[in-house]
Structure 1
Amino acid sequence: MGRHTGREQRRALRPAALTSFLAVGAVGVMAAAGLLTVHLQDAGRPGHGSVAPARTATPPPSPTPSPGAPAAALQGGPATGPTLLAPPTAPPDVPLGVTTTAPDDAESRRVGALFSGPTAPGHHFCTASVIDSPGRNLILTAAHCLSGANGTTFVPGYRNGQAPYGTWQVTAVYTADGWRTDHDPDEDFAILAVAPNAGRQIEDALGGNPLGTHAAWTVRARLYGYPARTELPVVCTNTTSRQDTYQRRIDCPAFPGGTSGGPFLDAATGEVIGVIGGYQQGGATDDTSYSALFDHTVADLLAAAG
């Protein structure tokens, strides 16, 4: 017995948004209006916990670039070729297990903050990252981060109140059945669809991290996140280990509330092999973070989200 009992029986997937609205036949209308919702979840989080605050229904912000957004980020034709880029390596003077401000580079720009209000200091609550997908419009975060898509925006490369690559409206949230039914920590991941910005999909603007499943437990990974009380992303490189049957662990200091949903990126391949979440909703202390194992469940979820 234990928390993994019946795990495979709970592994049937369904988009959270479709479950919520199929009965009224309004999925298409709601998606267009940015009103698809994720299942409600427990608000308290011991360590990394930051969740979107309760909101009244308001018109979603227009998915337009921020003033001064680089033209290269939001204009031009679709990207061609694979999106797996050679990932940068940690600066040689930063030892393993040390957390620093993330450099502004191609990899860090795919990581961003989730906002429940204006793109301004104090309004971001979790972290997400762009992933490679057929529709080129998906981002990845922790399932415990969201209580709904309405009014939620993603700001990649956010720094000091600026949105250099625009704001992207979340239109749908997809979670695995184990999370939907009982908040299984082994399925604490969510895929979010975002609307085009200036006629362009987010992956065409920034590229996307390929999803990595069944990665070895011992992997050197870069961990990214946006602490809730700061306005710059942080990064730490260290070797991951196995916490239990379905949980990955990494020891990196100073990953507090707000970093939930931040990606574990395989330093050798650039694949995202986890997100801060899972056990203790990511960790009871700021110095150790966890992720649910990425196996066939997250791969099937990506296929369902398209």
Structure 2
Amino acid sequence: MRHVSQLRALSAVAVLLVIPGYGDRDPGPGGRTVEAPATAAYARVGALFEGGLDGDHFCTASVVHSADRNLIVTAAHCLDDQDDAVFVPGYRDGRAPYGTWPVKETYTDDAWQEDGSEDDDVAFAVLGPGSATGARVEDAVGAARLATTTAPADATVTVTGYPSDSDAPLTCTNQTTRYGDTQQRIECPGYSGGTSGSPWEAVDGSVVGVIGGYEEGGDDPDVSYSIVFGQTTAALYRLVEGEGC
């Protein structure tokens, strides 16, 4: 379990990648975890705090493209019973270089709401205006494309997230393997509590998963899990877009 401290629709999605992705990073050797540099390519990944910077950060989230430019994706278990969560993109060393954004609306699938289904451990959250300028989050830090087509079993992804005992994000690149038909796993050391919701970015910069799923992300900090994004994730995304939040 990595977390310390909603609606089903139809169809797939296609959106645009808006800021530099994996190709603009130096991920280092496969399977090695390092501190992520403070660059624009990592700015769309941030920490989720309770209340604000004076609280604790308990999970990770990242900005994904939406028509209203105000959407993040994380693990569903991160936002259970959280009514004052704040997203801080690019958080580092106690500072919010781009400002903070309050979570206003959370969307998870019916199967998660009703049964806590490990195969539906993903959430989208609509953010309010930023604290610094009132801007929408995507206008401040960019966004990634959400990918919901079936990924190959051995895809290369970069996982970036915030352990709860760290004030800087970690990043690691490695190949994924399938864990049954609905889950995927990756071996990257050091992804402890607080990294739930960390985005899995493919080589084209699209988000293909988030730490969560099996055991809410896994029971070993060196092996992380995600659900396989597919039709259900696409439907949930389309639902949020249709709400026009």
So what's the TM-score if we normalise by structure 1?
A: 0.71
Show the counterpart of 1:298.
233
Instruction: Give the letter for the 1:107 counterpart.
Output: A
1:240-279 matched pairs, under 5 angstroms: 240-266=176-202, 268-279=203-214
Shift of 1:117: 2.9
Name the residue aligned to 1:212: 147
- CA 1:271 to 1:82, structure 2 compared with 1: closer, same or farther past 3 Å? closer
> C-alpha distance in 1, partners of 2:51/2:136?
22
Partner of 1:142: 75
Quick one: distance in 2 between partners of 1:86 and 1:132? 13
Runs of at least 4 residues of structure 1 off by over 4 A? none
Distance 1:190 1:261 in 2: 9
Alpha carbons 2:17, 2:145 under 8 Å: kept: no
Instruction: Report if aligned partners of 2:19, 2:41 keep a CA contact under 8 Å in 1.
Output: no
Percent identity between the two aligned chains: 45
1:100 to 2:34 alignment: yes
For the residues of structure 2 that align with 1:118 and 1:202, how far apart are their CA atoms? 16
Shift of residue 161, structure 1, vs aligned partner = 0.4
* Alpha-carbon distance between aligned partners in 1 of 2:17 and 2:182, rounded to the nearest angstrom: 30
Residue by residue over 1:254-276, the C-alpha shift from the partner in whole angstroms, topping out at 9 and shown as x without a partner, is 0000000000000x210000000
1:91 shift after superposition: 3.0
Q: In the TM superposition, what are the counterparts of 1:23-42 in structure 2 within 5 Å?
A: none
Q: Extract unaligned runs of 5+ from structure 2.
A: 6-15
Radius of gyration: which is bigger? Answer: 1
Q: What is the total number of aligned residue pairs between the two structures?
A: 228
Residue identity matched to 1:184: S
Bigger strand share: 2
Question: Shift of the alpha carbon at 1:49?
Answer: 3.0
1:217 Cα offset (Å): 2.2
- 1:42 aligned partner: none
Q: Is the 8 A contact 1:149 1:172 kept in 2?
A: no
Question: In 2, distance between residues paired with 1:136 and 1:249?
Answer: 29
**Aligned position for 2:4:** 50
Q: CA RMSD in A?
A: 1.6
Within-5 A mapping of 1:71-220: 83=18, 85-88=20-23, 90-91=25-26, 94-120=28-54, 123-197=56-130, 198-213=133-148, 214-220=150-156
Which residue of structure 1 lines up, in the alignment, with residue 168 of structure 2?
A: 232
**Structure 1: tracts of 5 or more residues without a match:** 1-44, 52-80
